[in-house]
Amino acid sequence: MKAVLDADEASELLRASIAGELPDERGRFGPFGGRYIPETLVPAFELLERGIREYLPSDEFQQEYRTQLRDWVGRPTALTFAARLSERWGTKVWLKREDLAHTGAHKINNAIGQALLARKLGARRVIAETGAGQHGVASAAACARVGLPCRVYMGVVDMQRQAPNVDRMHRLGAEVFPVESGDKTLRAAIDEALREWVSDPAGIYYLLGSAVGAHPYPYLVRELQSVIGTEARQQMQDLAGGLPDVAFACVGGGSNAIGLFYPLLGDSDIELIGVEAGGTGEGLGQNAATLATGTPGVLQGCYSIILQDENGNIQETHSISAGLDYSGVGPEHALLQALGRVSYVTASDDEALEALQELCETEGILTALETAHAYAAAKRWSRDNPGKRILIGNSGRGDKDLPTLARYAARTNANAAA
């Protein structure tokens, strides 16, 4: 565990988590969360928090949001039984198909909800950040849908390895701003977006893509993404004849995973397993396994578990998947790990690539490299749990990763020839 909680405190926090009482009024998930921001951004965050309290639970907003999810996003997304994969693994594998949502990933659930909220709050324009590009594409599409201009910040490293999504953002009317500072990936993109927000907090709405950052973003993103788990829970009962024994989801910042896990927290018989990027090794800089190897600290407005050296310097990360390549994780995941309600494991670059190929060959599904990490861990789990029922959050499709896969294959062939 990454936080020391006594038994009574842990029991109360687990009860509060299941009951939907967290975050508390300070934006805390137990010891994690909160709001660590520049003074210039305090009015913008207070406006956002008031807007969430006023609009998010209202019948008018919920009706508009649900209508967009149904008629534009294409929800509910399918629950697919992976028959051939199940035969190979010796378990019963069910897939929650967020790859079938409009724009190809779970990110659209959050993007359209926040775009609607931005319009309610009177924003003149929207900014967003992206790593794998799926949140950028979703933000561009959602802003086009509600009629707001959009700028997306993206590290130049991610722009190179996610070129198809960069083109999609441009075609959807967004400006893509290349970030060349810092590690040139997701963390640097978030930093740059925050600097832009400071310049005009009244006119800009920052559409944050994951369950990270200062309060109220982890709460807001969780609420908008929990449609995944709510649908999956009912679909498992209707189609599979009962709830799963275990649910797997990949974890970077954590929006896909918290969206799947949150509605299942109260089902104590369901084991919940988040899968981080194990990269190429266990050393700092070789992976993005925050919960497996990180320590408590503050990153980009939030107290959570982060990757840092002994001096508190934020550590650069590595993952073959751009969307998992982040130095922190959402505060609710940090709490759920501390409570022992969710287990967090890793899968390496090579394991993810093997899992992606196996899914292609057995089920005809090209999944995202991020999601492939969850498949790799689920396969390992299956070896010791024959006959069990597995639910995997298939968070996105893998079209965006074809350039990365081609480069990896070229390097592998070159090494083999040598």
**DSSP type of residue 150:** E
Q: Which one from 86, 210, 304, 395 is the annotated catalytic residue?
A: 395
Chain-centre distance of CA 120, in angstroms? 25
Nearest Cα neighbor of 411 from 349, 356, 348, 359 is 349
Instruction: In whole angstroms, give the CA distance from residue 373 to residue 355.
Output: 7
Q: Which two tokens stand for residue 20?
A: 């939907």
Q: Which two tokens stand for residue 53?
A: 């309290």
Q: How many CB atoms lie within 10 A of CB 278?
A: 27
Cβ–Cβ < 8 Å for 205, 196: no
Q: 69 phi and psi, to 5 degrees? A: -60, -40
Half-sphere exposure of 345 (CA within 13 A, CB side): 19
User: Could you confirm whether 231 is annotated as catalytic?
Assistant: no
- Helices (H) then strands (E): counts for the chain: 17, 14
What CA–CA distances, in Å, run from 324 to 11, 160, 277, 383?
30, 16, 6, 25
Sheet holding 389-394, edge to edge: 79-81, 92-97, 389-394, 246-250, 271-279, 342-348
User: Could you confirm whether 58 is annotated as catalytic?
Assistant: no
Cβ–Cβ < 8 Å for 25, 49: no
Instruction: In whole angstroms, give the CA distance from residue 158 to residue 188.
Output: 11
Instruction: In whole angstroms, give the CA distance from residue 136 to residue 151.
Output: 9
Q: Which one from 107, 184, 379, 400 is the annotated catalytic residue?
A: 107
Residues 6 or more apart whose Cβ sits within 8 Å of residue 39: none
Cβ–Cβ < 8 Å for 206, 128: yes
User: Could you confirm whether 107 is annotated as catalytic?
Assistant: yes
What CA–CA distances, in Å, run from 123 to 148, 204, 315?
8, 6, 34
Q: Which one from 129, 223, 271, 351 is the annotated catalytic residue?
A: 129
Single-letter residue type at 227: V
Cβ–Cβ < 8 Å for 102, 137: no
Catalytic residues: 107, 129, 395
